[in-house]
Amino acid sequence: MEKLNLVLSKEKILQKIKELAEKIDKDFNNESLVFIGTLKGAFIFLSDLLRYIKNPNIQIDFVRVKSYGMSDTSSENVILTKDIEIPLEGKNVIIVEDIVDTGLTLKYLYEYIKKFNPKNLKICALIDKKERKKFNIPIDYVGFEIEKGFLVGYGLDFAEKYRHLPEIYEVIKDE
Ligand code: 5GP
């Protein structure tokens, strides 16, 4: 069994999410806005973020992008396994991502959504991992910058475990 070390408490996460929601509300000022959550990892982050958004003109959708493998390393292979259902042409769109590591998934998604000609395309990520960035896509709304480690909880999994945890932990693997 792996061990878990606490990295971000519930309180810290929710405080940061409140701040992100305030910034988004300020930037879009009741203009219509589509939030696209990336499954499965961002499902808890998106639902908490939305509860602090005051803008009444929002729509919500989900996309699922998979990079191959169940391991803790990102692969070069990205596929879309659930598409967006809301038309995005001429809309303000925010991609809501749980964690950005190499940036490959985000680059793929950003380029995919751009093809629908949104009016505005922004990115919101709860965690930006600085350690392994290969593809540099600017993130407009960042929750936390974390240097290293494999994180679980608050939507993030390790082989599908730990998504339900209300805090974020680093996985410490047995030698
Ligand atoms: P990237 O394409 O940026 O290398 O990786 C992004 C995806 O890899 C995330 O959406 C997430 O699914 C997974 N990932 C990257 N780092 C971590 C991590 O520390 N913990 C977990 N649970 N998933 C991660």
End-to-end CA distance of the chain: 10
Answer yes or no: is pLDDT of 69 > 70: no
* Confidence at residue 124, expressed as pLDDT on a 0 to 100 scale: 98
Question: Tell me, which fold does domain 9-151 have in CATH?
Answer: Rossmann fold (3.40.50)
Active site residue 101: yes
**Using CA atoms, how far apart are residues 139 and 53, in angstroms rounded to an integer?**
19
Ligand 1 atom nearest to CA at 97:
10
Query: Exactly one of 101, 128, 140, 157 is catalytic; which is it?
Result: 101
* Confidence at residue 68, expressed as pLDDT on a 0 to 100 scale: 64
Confidence tier at 115 by pLDDT (50, 70, 90): very high
pTM for the structure as a whole = 0.93
AA letter at 85: E
Q: 105 CB under 6 A from ligand 1?
A: yes
Q: 57 CA distance to ligand 1 centroid (A)? A: 30
AA letter at 71: S
User: Any idea where the domains of the chain sit in the sequence?
Assistant: 9-151
Please, what is the average pLDDT of the chain? 92
Q: Compute the average pLDDT of residues 71-98.
A: 85
Q: 93 CA distance to ligand 1 centroid (A)? A: 22
* Confidence at residue 76, expressed as pLDDT on a 0 to 100 scale: 58
Q: 123 CA distance to ligand 1 centroid (A)? A: 15
Q: Compute the average pLDDT of residues 29-33.
A: 95
Answer yes or no: is pLDDT of 145 > 60: yes
Q: 65 CB under 6 A from ligand 1?
A: no
Q: Where are the beta strands (DSSP E) in the chain?
A: 3-8, 33-39, 58-67, 78-82, 92-100, 120-129, 141-146, 151-152, 168-172
* Confidence at residue 173, expressed as pLDDT on a 0 to 100 scale: 86
**Using CA atoms, how far apart are residues 40 and 25, in angstroms rounded to an integer?**
25
Tell me which of 70, 74, 123 to substitute to probe ligand 1's pocket, judged by most ligand atoms within 8 Å of the beta carbon: 74
**Using CA atoms, how far apart are residues 167 and 170, in angstroms rounded to an integer?**
10
**Ligand 1, atom 23: closest residue by C-alpha:** 156
Q: 92 CB under 6 A from ligand 1?
A: no
Q: Compute the average pLDDT of residues 136-160.
A: 94
Stronger pLDDT, 68 or 20, i.e. the higher one: 20
Residues 108 and 134: beta-carbon distance below 8 Å: no
Ligand 1 atom nearest to CA at 98:
10
**Pairing mode, strands 58-67 and 78-82:** antiparallel
